[in-house]
Each structure stands twice: as C-alpha cells, then as structure tokens.
Amino acid sequence: MTLQISYLFLREYWWLIISLLGGLLVFLMFVQGGQSFIFSLPRNDLQRKMVVNSLGRKWEFTFTTLVTFGGAFFASFPLFYATSFGGAYWVWMAILFSFIIQAVAYEYRSKPANVYGTRVFDTFLFINGCLGPFLIGVAVATFFTGSDFTLDLFNRVQWGSGWHGLEALINPVNLLLGLAVLFLARVLGLMYLENSIDDKELTASLKKALVRNAIPFLVFFLAFVAAILLGKGYRADPVTGEVTLVKYHYLHNLVGNVFTLVFFTGGVVLVLVALWLGIFRGSRRAIWYAGFGTVPVVIALFLMAGYGETAFYPSSADPDSSLTLAKASSSYFTLKTMMYVSFIIPFVVAYIWYAWSSINRSRITREELAGEDHTY
Amino acid sequence: MIENFDLSLVNWSRAQFALTAIYHWLFVPLTLGLSFILAFMETLYVRTGDEMWKKITKFWMTLFGINFAIGVATGIILEFEFGTNWSNYSWFVGDIFGAPLAVEGILAFFLESTFVAVMFFGWNKVSKKFHLASTWLVAIGANLSALWILVANAWMENPVGMVFNPDTARNEMNSFREVVFNPVAIDKFLHTVTSGFVLASVFVVGISAWFLIRKREQELARKSILIAGIFGLVSGLAVALTGDSSARTLAQVQPVKFAAMEALYEGKTDAGLTVIGALTDSGERIGEKKVHDMKLKIEIPKLLSIMTTGKGEGYVPGLRDLIDGNPERGILSVSEMMERGRYARQVLIDYKMAKELGDTESMASLAAKFEEKDFTENYFRYFGYSYFDHPWQVIPSVPVTFYAFRVMVGLGFFFILLFVLAIWFHRRKTLERNPWFLWIALFSIPLAYLASELGWIVTEMGRQPWIIQNLMPVHVAVSNISAGAVQTTFWLFAVLFTALLIAEISIMVRQIKTGPKH
C-alpha cells in the first residue's frame, strides 16, 4: 500500500522539522551564552574551570545541531541554501569562523604545550559565545525583514549589496533579534550553570548576572516581536505567486494558526516562569522551563515566517524573487524519502537523553573535577 | 588547480575548498581508524579485566580527543561551503546531494557526539559494558558519517538515481536506493574507510615504536603494535582489494580520469599497467594541453587490460580516443558531445522563455522532449559539455594524477609490508632488537598522511573540470561573489587552520612524550 501524502503537507512537515531544529539550536546555545561569561563571572581559575567543564560537556550537541540544521535545510529547501549562503556570504562566514574556533578551544585550552596559552583559547570561547548567537539572530531576522537579492530564470542568485549579508547589521529590526538571541543565550547559560555546578560563591554571582541579562533580553525580544507583528510582512499570493508587503501580515499568521498561537504564547509563558523561578526562587530547575519555553517560541517564529501565504526568505530588492516553501523546496520524492528518515529523530532524542542522564547524575563540584580524568 | 591557479573567482573558490578538504582530511582518517582500535583495546580490557588494557585505551583515547576536536572544526566548513561558494551547484543538485548530508547529521553525527561524551566522561559514571558500548558506537558513528558524505561525493562522480526537471531547472532524485548503492559509492566507502584504518594503524605502530626506541612504556607499546599491526594488515589488504575494484568502476564511469592516471594517450589492447615511469614533455599538444612521453617505464604486461575489461586483450581507450572520438570502439568525440550538450541547453532555455511568455503550446512540446528517451540518453546526458569552448578542456592534469596515484599505491603496499614485519617481530619478541624497523615505523607516520591526501588528490584533481561528471563543470557551479571576498576568506582559513594545526601537533607531541597516566 502506498502512502498518499500531498506535496504541500511534505513542505510544511519539513518546515516544521527545520523549525524544531532551529528551536533546539537556540536552546542549546546556552553553551554560547555561558561562554560569553568566561571572563566576567568566575572569580578565580578554579571557578573558570568549573564553568568551562560544565559547558564543555555539552558543546558538541550545539555544534551537531547546527550542522544538522544546515544539512536539513540543504536537503529540504536547497534554493534557500543556495540563495542565502551564496549571497549573504560574509554573515555566514563570520558565523562559521566563530564555531571553528570554539570546537578546538575546549579541548586545547588547558592542555600542556598548546602554543598560544589558555587565555587565547578562552578568548575564542568568548568570541563564539557573543558572535554566534548574535549573528544567527540577525540572519534569522532577515526571514522577516528581507534581503537584497534577485534570482534569474535559472534561480541563480545575484546579491545586490557588495557587503554580502553584512548590510543586515544596519537594519534595527535585525539587530533587535540578534541582541534578543544573544541575551537569551546568556540567560539560558546562567540557568544551565546554576543547574549543573554546585558552588556557593559562583551561584551568588550567577543570580546577580541573571537579573542583569533577563531585562535586556525581555526588552529586545518584545521590541522585535512588536516590530514584526505591527509592521509589514511579505505575503505571497497563492495563485499568482506575486509577493507584496502587507501590514500586520505576521500578526495574521500568528493568530490565524492555532498551533502557532499556542506555541508562541505557551512558550513565552514558560520562559517568564523560568525567569521568575531563576530570579525570585533561585530554582535550579529554571533551565528546564526556559528550554521547554524557548523551543516552541522559536518554532512559532519560524511558522509565522513560513506557513500560510508567506515568503519565508523575502527579497527586498525584487519581491518576486522571494522564496516561498513551494518555490524553494526539494522534489516530492526527496521530501517524502527524507520524511521517512526523520522518523528516527525520536529515537535519536531518546538515546541522547539516556546518555546525558547517565553521565550527569551529580553536579560539578571542586571534588568531582579533581577526580575526573578528562577535563578542559 | 596548480597549473590553472590564478586570481579568478573559480580558482580561488576551488583553492578554498581544496584547502579546507585537505586540512579536514588530516584529522578524519585517524578518527575513523583509531576509534576502532580503541574499541578493540577496551573490549580486551572488559573481557580480561586486565588494568593494563584500560591504561592503554585511555592513553590512545587522549590522542583521539585532541585529533577529534580539530576534525569537527574543519568539517563544519565543508558542509556550509557548498552553499557559500558553490551556490549554483547547491541549487542544481541540492535535491539529491542534500539528502545524504541531512541523513549524515541525523544518523551519524548525533550518535558520534553523544557517545563520545560518554567515552570521555563516563569512565567513573557508567558501567564497564555501557562504556564499552559507547566506544563502539563512537567508532560506528564516525564511520557511518563517512558513509553518507562519501555517498554524496560518489554521486558527483557518477550521478545516478535522478531525473532532470525543466520547470525547476535542476536534477531531482527518483531513486534513493540507486544513490546509496551507487557502485562508485560502495567502492569509495570501503576504500576510504579502510585507508583510514591503515593510517591509524601506522600512527599507533609508529608511536609505539618510539616508546620502544626510548625504552619506555614497553608493554603498552608491544600490545599496541600487535593490535594495530593486525588491524592494519587486514585493512591494508582490504585497501588493495577495494582499490582494484575502484579502478574497474572508474574505467567505466570516468574514462578520462582513468586514462590520465595511466598517462595513456593512445588507446590499445593488451595494455600493461605502468608501475613506475617518468613523464616528459613530448612537444606535442592536445589543444593547449601537453602530451607526455614516458621514460624509465616499468610495466606489468596486459594488467591494465585485465583490470578494466577482465581480458588481457581488452581495449583500454587513451586520452586521444576519448577527446577525438573513436567510432570503431563506439567512443563519441568531445566536440560531438559539446554540440549535443548545446542543443540540450538550448531546448531548456527555449522552454524557460516559453514559460516566461506564457506560450503554453511551445512549453508542452519542449517539456515533452525531456520525457523522450532519445533526448535524455543522447543529448541531455552531455548537458555539461555545452559550457566548454574546446574539447581539450575536459582533460585533467595528467602529471598530478599519474604521480599521485603511483605514490599512493606504492605507499599502500609499503604499509602492508610494515604491518607484516610488525606482527612478525612481535611474535618472535624481537621488536626491540630491530631498531631499524622501529625507526622506519616512526617515520612512516607522515607517509601515511601523504598517501591518504594523495588518494583525494587523485580523486578530485582527476575528475576536473567536472563538479558533477558530464552534467556540470566546476566553473558553472560557483557562487556569484567577488574573487576578492573568496581570496580573503581563503587566507583567513589558511592562517587559522595552520595555527590550529601547529597547536594540535604541539599538544599531541607533548601528550605522547608524557605517556600514559599511571
């Protein structure tokens, strides 16, 4: 028996998978957020070692999720991959550079004969911690604000600006999301460290830092949400394919889809609960509320950008070059084949959970670090 | 690339990709092979309970970790460079090529990254058996990851399992099974991973030999030599076998590359395999390409014919046959392929223009052509040739492929001999009494890296000028960005990767000198 699935369903299914991976990536950027505190939070080398080792046991998951996010985009929406990566060259290169230096920094920072010294590798972690979330936020914001490109008859991209993506940094709305993601990553990083390290002195510093970072996060996030919901959005006509700017378009997408609305409001509430727990109750469990809140909020933002009559990667230079799910997607056959592959994801999540819990039964302490063979 | 190296966008993009791939491949084969060696050693620890095996496993695991991190760092760039530097390629074949990359992420990377954490941090936290299972899963995950990226790479050399869609102006997958079980993919996967096993075995034997020279950690060194020697020998033989089947497949799907590897200009029957030879300029030219004479030639009679056709008297086409055509042998000239390719491209352009103008009648008749067997098999299959001006442009660098291939094969047989001697001396308990062997083993480590890189140089340089065999030349695939931008990132990568490599080698050497923890 052959399973009858519509092309529209497959495109939306894959956009949901991309959204889910995007949500997990933003949550897992607690690693980057934690790294951004490497010079400011720890009072001494031992505290710094505890922070780095706590984050270092998770960095590969963020990294792998980023790679899978890229691979899934390539497989399901190759025209986006070609257009954005090939056009916004400098933004993506800056993101990649920041991740290259992260990958080695953990393993090399405390090894003897590492040539450049621990501080250089710690600086790599700091750069990745700040630049990674910020630039990924800016890049995702262009899903709402548009980019300066045109596509020819054969879908070859021509980028309008010689800055090749860096021009996104002068759009205030893009900056708002970049800063919101950066401060969210920092908030998540603090909550994660609170959860995984058992050190009274460090815990006191974490709580103070949480307040200082939660406020800018809320300000930038709310400002971004207000800007896109109350501003114009790129609507794609379902019949002609013509793309036009329409006032309140993303607001319509939010309230017009019950799943998007539930994900968004539910996620926001959970993040607020997490902040309340972390700031006023000093709860170690805040990271879980924040995580279960962050993922649906990011999914909702992606759904607002991609579902409905919307161009998910709009062109501000030539609206008709904008990418919709239909225009950018892989073939029916590929999406269907890949859908079967994606069914393994719950199994992957299950073994990650099992492996994590098996090595994270106890919190990191000075004693635990002293007895560990492999430290960073 | 070396002979064409200039400041153009295409060449800088190629240089950047080559740089990234060469650096990445410095670290990957050690991960592929050492992960299995760790699994063997830890299995012995769990089965025997001998703490010495645990110590040995932990020592090599430290070196594994140092190498693994930088492999991950260079790997992420390769995936994203398909988009940043080869965006036209990404769109043209993303429907097919992207799928293995996504599967790699979902099936292999998570497996590897999850259990590598247990492998490093789980010694005192999980049971012995769970830890052992994690080590095995890291080895399986790393090699699964190699499988998927090699499936993708093999598809570029032998595109199968797809159909061209004129509406989207791209190739679309119609058989995932054909893509995965592409004969080039199977050969490539087996040959590549087993070559990684050989490199890791040479690495372990070489470093263990250094300990014996220094009269340190002798039990660790002897036991490591035994494990790596056996693993290396089995893998070395597998490399030779899979190399042979790779050559046979190559002769079918990439005959120009095969002829370039043999520096075979004139096709012939009873063709011998050149073991050693020196290429000199004959003064003749095919277009702007030099034709080489062979000096100091040592060949095995008829072997090339047997390897490619299974018969001693089989005909092996040379570069001249493949460029000028050979009607007697049913070989089409490249100029004829160019003509046919141009016709196919014009049909596509006419179709797209008709679509733009809303001319449904023309659209229907032109779209029908893409359904016709004659058009797809005799014209569209040469689509990529339409982008060339001269037939000689499809000839890769003959000296680079010829010499790289011979050095790689020669070193491959040398490593087999090295492993045989390692096992022999170990059995006779005479390793320390043969310091010449220990020194050779130590200095074989860089040779293993050389052989491994040369393998990729044969593969990738040999298939130039194609990014997808017969369908898309490299210069058509490049992103529309400035050469200056790519030049800048090339140098940034070069400096960064070199700096990290220096740190990696320095840390690795220090860890080796320090030895295992007692």
pLDDT, tens digit (0-9, with 9 covering 90-100), for A324-357: 999 999 999 999 999 998 998 889 889 988 988 8
Which residue on chain A is closest to B177 by alpha carbon?
Answer: A337
Domain assignment present for residue B3? The answer is no
Question: Is B87 in Cβ contact with A83 (below 8 Å)?
Answer: yes
Interface test with B, best of A135, A331, A369 (most B CBs within 10 A): A331
Interface test with A, best of B80, B127, B506 (most A CBs within 10 A): B80
Q: Give the phi and the psi of residue B442 in degrees, each rounded to 5.
A: -65, -45
Q: By residue range, what is the domain housing residue B268?
A: 263-328
Do B294 and B361 lie in one domain? The reply is no
Q: What is the pLDDT of residue A3?
A: 61
Question: Is B502 in Cβ contact with A100 (below 8 Å)?
Answer: no
Say how far apart CA A185 and CA A31 lie, in whole Å. Answer: 8
Residue A268 sits at the vertex; the CA angle it makes with A267 and A272, to the nearest 5 degrees, is 115
Both tokens of B477, joined, read 């695939």
- Residues in B closer than 8 angstroms to A154, CB to CB, are 169, 352
Interface test with A, best of B28, B60, B67, B103 (most A CBs within 10 A): B103
Q: Which among B271, B323, B316 is positioned nearest to B297, based on CA atoms?
A: B271
Q: What is the pLDDT of residue B518?
A: 66
Which residue on chain A is closest to B167 by alpha carbon?
Answer: A154
ipTM computed for the complex: 0.92
For B113, B144, B203, B436, B494, the CA distances from B119, given in Å and listed in that order, are 10, 18, 21, 36, 32
CB-based contact, B67 to chain A, within 8 Å: no
Interface of B with A in 414-443 (CB under 8 A): none
Domain assignment present for residue A345? The answer is no
Domain assignment present for residue B161? The answer is yes
Say how far apart CA A100 and CA A211 lie, in whole Å. Answer: 31
- Say whether pLDDT at A102 is over 60: yes
Domain total in chain B? 3
Do B168 and B222 lie in one domain? The reply is yes
Which residue on chain B is closest to A88 by alpha carbon?
Answer: B84
Q: What is the pLDDT of residue B6?
A: 45
For A4, A266, B193, the CA distances from A297, given in Å and listed in that order, are 31, 8, 42
Q: What is the pLDDT of residue B119?
A: 93
Q: What is the pLDDT of residue B262?
A: 93
Do B134 and B66 lie in one domain? The reply is yes
Domain assignment present for residue A159? The answer is yes
Parallel, antiparallel or unpaired: strands A157-159 and A149-151: antiparallel
Domain assignment present for residue B1? The answer is no
Q: pLDDT (tens digit, 9 = 90+) per residue, A110-161?
A: 999 999 999 999 999 999 999 999 999 999 999 999 999 999 888 889 999 8
Do B244 and B272 lie in one domain? The reply is no
pLDDT tier, A18 (very low <50, low <70, confident <90, very high otherwise):
very high
Domain assignment present for residue B4? The answer is no
Do B118 and B174 lie in one domain? The reply is yes
Q: What is the pLDDT of residue A28?
A: 95
CB-based contact, B376 to chain A, within 8 Å: no
- DSSP string over B411-427: HHHHHHHHHHHHHHHHH
Q: By residue range, what is the domain housing residue A194?
A: 7-332
Do B351 and B475 lie in one domain? The reply is no
Q: pLDDT (tens digit, 9 = 90+) per residue, A63-83?
A: 989 988 988 898 899 999 999
pTM for the whole thing?
0.91
Do B366 and B316 lie in one domain? The reply is no
Q: Which among A79, A329, A11 is positioned nearest to B91, based on CA atoms?
A: A79
- Residues in B closer than 8 angstroms to A158, CB to CB, are 480
Question: Is B101 in Cβ contact with A330 (below 8 Å)?
Answer: no
Do B467 and B382 lie in one domain? The reply is no
Say how far apart CA A83 and CA B90 lie, in whole Å. Answer: 9
Parallel, antiparallel or unpaired: strands B273-286 and B268-269: unpaired
Do B41 and B135 lie in one domain? The reply is yes
Question: Is A71 in Cβ contact with B101 (below 8 Å)?
Answer: yes
Per-residue pLDDT tens listing for chain B (518 residues): 333 434 589 999 999 999 999 999 999 999 999 999 999 999 999 999 999 999 999 999 999 999 998 888 888 888 889 999 999 998 888 888 888 888 888 888 888 888 998 999 888 889 999 999 999 999 999 999 899 889 989 999 999 999 888 888 888 999 999 999 999 999 999 999 999 999 999 999 999 999 999 999 999 999 999 999 999 999 999 999 998 888 888 988 999 999 999 999 999 999 999 999 999 998 889 988 999 999 888 999 999 999 888 888 999 999 999 999 999 999 999 999 999 999 999 999 999 899 889 899 999 999 999 989 999 999 999 999 999 999 999 999 999 999 999 999 999 999 999 999 999 999 999 999 999 999 999 999 999 999 999 999 999 999 989 999 999 999 999 998 999 999 999 999 999 999 999 999 999 999 999 999 76
Do B469 and B368 lie in one domain? The reply is no
**Which H, E and C letters describe chain A, residue by residue?**
CCCCCCHHHHHHHHHHHHHHHHHHHHHHCHHHHHHCCCCCCCCCHHHHHHHHHHHHCCHHHHHHHHHHHHHHHHHHCHHHHHHHHHHCHHHHHHHHHHHHHHHHHHHHCCCCCCCCCHHHHHHHHHHHHHHHHHHHHHHHHHHHHCECEEECCCCCEEECCCCCCHHHHHCHHHHHHHHHHHHHHHHHHHHHHHHHECCHHHHHHHHHHHHHHHHHHHHHHHHHHHHHHHCEEEEECCCCCCEEEEECHHHHHHHHCHHHHHHHHHHHHHHHHHHHHHHHHCCCCHHHHHHHHHHHHHHHHHHHHHCCCECCECECCCHHHCECHHHHCCCHHHHHHHHHHHCCHHHHHHHHHHHHHHHCCCCECHHHHHCCCCCC
Say how far apart CA B26 and CA A107 lie, in whole Å. Answer: 17
Do B58 and B176 lie in one domain? The reply is yes
Q: What is the pLDDT of residue B2?
A: 36
Question: Is A86 in Cβ contact with B85 (below 8 Å)?
Answer: yes
Q: pLDDT (tens digit, 9 = 90+) per residue, A264-317?
A: 999 999 999 999 999 999 899 999 999 999 999 999 999 999 998 999 999 999
Which residue on chain A is closest to B504 by alpha carbon?
Answer: A114
Domain total in chain A? 1
Question: Is A116 in Cβ contact with B503 (below 8 Å)?
Answer: yes
Please state the length of chain A: 376
Do B124 and B81 lie in one domain? The reply is yes
- DSSP-derived letter for residue B105 is I
Question: Is A158 in Cβ contact with B480 (below 8 Å)?
Answer: yes
- Residue in A113, A338, A373 closest to B123 by CB: A373
Both tokens of A220, joined, read 């930038």
Q: pLDDT (tens digit, 9 = 90+) per residue, A217-273?
A: 999 999 999 999 999 999 999 888 899 999 999 999 999 999 999 999 999 999 999
Q: What is the pLDDT of residue A2?
A: 57
Question: Is B83 in Cβ contact with A86 (below 8 Å)?
Answer: yes
Last residue of a domain, one of B285, B307, B328: B328
Looking at per-residue pLDDT, the higher value among A37 and B98 belongs to: A37
